[in-house]
Amino acid sequence: MSEWVKITASDGNEMDAYVVRPKGEPKAALVVVQEIFGVNKNIQMTADEWASNGFLVIAPQMFDRFEKGVNLGYDEAGWKEAMRLMGQFAPDFAPQTLDVDAAVEWLRNETDKPVGVVGYCFGGTMAYLSACRLKVDAAVGYYGGSIVKFIGETPQAPLMLHFGGLDDHIPAETIAKIQFAHPEVPIFVYGDAGHAFNRMVDPTAYVADAATLAMKRSVLFFEQHLAF
């Protein structure tokens, strides 16, 4: 069952958020953090998939600080608008961290189960920063291109990262830097996949085998660390 709710960050920023409830009692709860295209069809489908695995899920609209209801496609116009909006984020992603924290707190008010964060592209970086900066129980990041900018920050919660071996946005040397800085973090590289390999609505990016394997690993990771 899905619905839209409103949540408010500690600095007063109000956001819409897409919520999906699993059938029956949730195993745990997850914040799903979007790519740079808003909580669009792909992110809603991704949230639905996590809910089908037994999680209570919330996906906040991370652009609501600047523009409400962003829902972009992956065509040229969508990319252009996404980059314009992305340029309004603070370099340290501090306000965006507050927005993720608001989603975490909403989940904690809904359930007493552990709360994790999973994110994609921009959201992958936010999952990493959530593990470093917020009181979350575990986090998983997919192809977070800006993680390398923050490798001096130390994860305080269990963290798993996924990257595509053919990613033309995140070269192998960048992944190696992250691995070197955080040898305690399990990092998986999918050799036949590029950037956004989990983007199921985009046939130019989606790689089913990599997406399926990454999902299996992520579910097992959350099952291990969210103390079901």
Alpha carbon distance, N-terminus to C-terminus of the chain: 22
Give burial (CB, 10 Å; 0-12/13-18/19+) of 142.
buried
Instruction: Count how many Cα atoms sit within 13 Å of the Cα of residue 86 in the half-sphere of its side chain.
Output: 17
- pLDDT given at position 84: 96
Q: Which residue has the tokens 């409103």?
A: 6
- In the sheet that holds 55-60, the strands lie side by side as 2-8, 14-20, 55-60, 28-33, 115-120, 138-142, 159-164, 187-190
pLDDT in tens, 74-101: 999 999 999 999 999 999 999 999 999 9
- pLDDT given at position 1: 84
Share of the chain above pLDDT 70, in %: 99
Structural contact between residues 145 and 121, judged by C-beta atoms closer than 8 angstroms: yes
Q: Is the pLDDT of residue 228 over 90?
A: no
Whichever domain contains 94, its CATH number is 3.40.50.1820
Claim: this prediction has a pTM higher than 0.95: yes
- pLDDT given at position 107: 98
pLDDT band at 221 (very low <50, low <70, confident <90, very high): very high
- pLDDT given at position 50: 98
Q: Which two tokens stand for residue 105?
A: 């707190």
Helical pair 122-133 and 94-110, crossing angle rounded to 10 deg? 70
Q: What does pLDDT average to over the chain? A: 97
pLDDT in tens, 53-66: 999 999 999 999 99
The arithmetic mean of pLDDT across residues 91-119, rounded, is 98
Compute CA 81 distance to the chain's CA centroid, rounded to the nearest angstrom: 20
State the residue range of the domain holding 45.
2-225
pLDDT in tens, 133-165: 999 999 999 999 999 999 999 999 999 999 999
Number of domains in the chain: 1
Q: Is the pLDDT of residue 227 over 80?
A: no
- Calculate ∠ Cα 167-173-176, nearest 5°: 105
- pLDDT given at position 32: 99
The arithmetic mean of pLDDT across residues 168-184, rounded, is 97
